Amino acid sequence: MSFDSIVNSVKDIIDVLLVWLVAYYVLKSLSKNVKMILIFKGVGLIIILKILSSLFDLVTIGFLLDYVIEWGILALIVIFQPEIRNVLEQLGRSQLLGRHKVLTVDERERIVYEIVSAMDSLRKTRTGALIVIERDNSLNDYIQKAKKIYADISSDLLMSIFFPNNPLHDGGVIIQGDKITCARAVFPTSENSKIIKRLGTRHRAALGIAEITDCISLMVSEETGRLSMAINGELHYNLTPDEIKVMLLEELSPKKSLVIEEEEEEVETNEENN
């Protein structure tokens, strides 16, 4: 095999990998965007109808579909410009190397304890709060416009931030790794028509950022004191502190450690059997 053929083969492999990487991130973004999924379903339906019209020689429907396909792309770009922009923004926020810091077991348990303790105390006093935990998708766009803090996570600090007379209580807190990065962060509100109408701006903002990123949004209702969590574009309403704790520990657990723990358990089981 010549050197030129080896170079061409490497180029082909890189080309395929890049296409696969782009397709992966596009599909990953679309899976969390309901409107974009509906768009692609509509495009798929048009393509299927076009194929059927060609197979069965349906002249009229084929003629109409030709016009739809010719001008449909431009129409989709104009009509669904906000949704397309959101997908591109999400791709731009993605961190290929993962979250800023992989938490140890002790750090994860301590952080979850501090957050849940603060939410439980805020619940009892019916003090509204919005806490957003960054994961693989960067939230730097929102951090830049917020009030920087960069402090260790503690229940006392979270409670003081959301104290009604504190100038930082409006908006949300963003957590990166084991630090509170900023306060007074403003997030886009969800336009999901299925959300309960009585829920206020804080819940809609929590769900809105959870729809366009993979973050974890935690809320304390100012009106009812109920706790909620938004994750993967879904809102889990009226949770108990224990439920919040279990869900947080599960969601913040690194996937690799879970695999290692399972392998270690299998090894221990085999040793005991032997």
Same domain, residue pair 109 and 75 = no
Same domain, residue pair 110 and 229 = yes
The rounded distance, in Å, linking the Cα atoms of 208 and 130 is: 12
Please tell me the least confidently modeled range out of 7-11, 81-85, 242-246: 81-85
Measured in degrees and rounded to the nearest 5, phi and psi for residue 260 equal -65, -45
Q: What is the CA radius of gyration of the chain?
A: 24
pLDDT at 59 over 70: yes
In a domain, 271, yes or no: no
pLDDT at 269 over 50: yes
Same domain, residue pair 112 and 86 = no
Query: Would you place residue 151 in the very low, low, confident or very high pLDDT band (cuts 50, 70, 90)?
Result: very high
- What mean pLDDT is predicted for residues 24-31? 66
Same domain, residue pair 133 and 211 = yes
Q: Which range scores top for mean pLDDT: 2-6, 158-162, 256-260?
A: 158-162
Task: For 76-108, write each residue's pLDDT tens digit.
Answer: 777 666 666 666 665 555 544 444 457 788 999
For residues 159-169, b (16+ Cβ closer than 10 Å) or e, as one string? Answer: bebbeeeeebb
pLDDT at 83: 61
The rounded distance, in Å, linking the Cα atoms of 92 and 106 is: 32
Share of the chain above pLDDT 90, in %: 35
pLDDT at 93: 53
Q: Which range scores top for mean pLDDT: 17-26, 125-134, 185-194?
A: 125-134
In a domain, 50, yes or no: yes
Number of domains in the chain: 2
Tokens describing residue 141 = 């766009």
- The sheet with strand 129-133 has its strands ordered as 147-152, 179-185, 172-176, 129-133, 216-220, 227-231, 234-239
In a domain, 262, yes or no: no
Residues in the chain: 274
Question: DSSP class of residue 198?
Answer: T
Task: For 103-141, write each residue's pLDDT tens digit.
Answer: 788 999 999 999 999 999 999 999 999 999 998 888 888
Average predicted confidence (pLDDT) for the chain:
81
Same domain, residue pair 138 and 44 = no
Tokens describing residue 270 = 């085999």
pLDDT at 266: 53
- What mean pLDDT is predicted for residues 200-222? 91
Same domain, residue pair 135 and 68 = no
Task: For 62-73, write each residue's pLDDT tens digit.
Answer: 888 887 777 777
Q: Answer yes or no: are the C-beta atoms of 185 and 133 closer than 8 Å.
A: no
87 is in which domain, residue-wise? 3-93
Global pTM value: 0.63
Same domain, residue pair 54 and 20 = yes
